[in-house]
Amino acid sequence: MTTIVKIHRKGQMTLPSRFRAAIGVAEGDLVEASLQRGKIVLTPKLPIDRCRFPAADDEYTPVQRRRVDARLAKAEADIAAGRVSKAFTDHDEFIADLHKAAAKPTGRKTRPLAK
């Protein structure tokens, strides 16, 4: 089955109804266009209905949301200032770095525990 398809100014294309029926899409549905061996392949795609997923905005009071936003802003400022730990390739490297950091003297004086 072949046909000529016109591509509109905004990149939209008009497929004949027999093509839409053959691939199981209706007018307005989303399709993914990919290039395979010099040919355009259209694959139907299901849109994600975002309203079916809960949003965190409904779970917090305005006061809680301000606290969360303030903590996120502080974290982003730390990242921007470079106050982050290095990336580790595996768990063992992370644990070794923790032990090394724990062994370093901090310069703080600690009091002995009372008996």
What pLDDT, on the 0 to 100 scale, is given for residue 47?
A: 73
pTM surpassing 0.85?
no
* Length of the chain in terms of residues written: 115
CB-CB neighbours of 94 under 10 Å: 14
> How far is CA 7 from its chain centroid?
32
Q: Domains in the chain, ordered, with CATH?
A: 1-49 (2.10.260.10), 54-103 (no CATH)
The pLDDT, as a whole number, for residue 94 is 92
pLDDT in tens, 15-37: 888 888 888 888 778 888 888 89
DSSP 48-61: P-GGGSPPGGGGS-
The one-digit pLDDT tens for each residue of the chain (115 residues) are: 677 777 777 777 788 888 888 888 887 788 888 888 988 888 888 777 767 766 666 778 889 889 999 999 999 999 889 888 788 899 999 999 989 888 887 766 677 776 6
